[in-house]
Amino acid sequence: MTHQVPIQEGLFSWPAEQPQLLGSRCKNCGETAFPAQRECRKCSGSDTEVVTLGDHGTLWTWTIQSFMPKTPYNSDETEETFRPYGVGYVEMPGGVRVESRLLENQPDELEIGMPMQLVIEPFRKDEAGNEIVIFAFRRADSENA
C-alpha cells in the first residue's frame, strides 16, 4: 500500500479514520485561526493551543480555478492534464474561514451557504514514492461513502 503523507504537518489529523481540520485558539481572547498560529493575530498573545475545527462547514465564497496556477504550484499535472477545480472559503463551526480546494469544478454545483464535507485527496507523488495528500472539501450532500 502506498504510504500517504500530508503535504504539511498540522493542517489536519492524519492518519485518521475521520480526519479533522486542525487550527489554533488563543487562550487569552478566544480567537481561532487556520492554519494554526503560534501568535494570536487579534491580541498578539502567544498562549495558543491546537484545536480541532471539525470536518464539516458551509461554503462562504468560491471560484473556479480554470487554468494551471503558476509556480510554486507543485503537482504532477501538466498543461495537458490539468483539470479545473473549485477554490473556496469554507466557514467552520466557530466561524473560522478556511481556504480550500473544492472537488466540484462546475459553477452549477456550487452555492454559497451549502454544507461541505472535509475530504483528504491524493495530490502528487514525492521522490520516495509516497503519496502526498491534501485536504479539500466537497458538497456534503453528494456523499456516497
Contacting residues toward Zn ion, per CB under 5 A: 26, 28-29, 31, 40, 42-43, 45
Residue found by looking up cell 503558476 in the block? 70
Quote the least distance from Cβ 40 to Zn ion, whole Å. 3
**Closest CB to Zn ion among 96 and 110?**
96
Q: What's the closest the beta carbon of residue 58 comes to Zn ion, in angstroms?
A: 24
How many alpha carbons fall within 13 Å on the CB side of residue 115? 8
**Radius of gyration, alpha carbons of the chain:** 16
- Whether the Cβ atoms of residue 84 and residue 64 lie closer than 8 Å to each other: yes
Shortest distance, position 39 Cβ to Zn ion, whole Å: 9
Of 96 and 119, which has the nearer Cβ to Zn ion? 96
- Of 30 and 122, nearer to Zn ion (C-beta) is 30
Q: What is the SS3 assignment for 40?
A: coil
What are the Cα distances from residue 132, in Å, to 4, 19, 29, 56?
6, 15, 35, 22
Question: Do residues 116 and 140 touch, judged by C-beta distance below 8 A?
Answer: yes
**Min dist. Cβ of residue 122 to Zn ion (A):** 36
Report the residue number, 28 or 105, with the smaller CB distance to Zn ion. Answer: 28
Q: Name the minimum Å distance from CB 49 to Zn ion.
A: 11
Residue 26 vs 116, nearer CB to Zn ion: 26
CA atoms within 13 A on the CB side of 35: 9
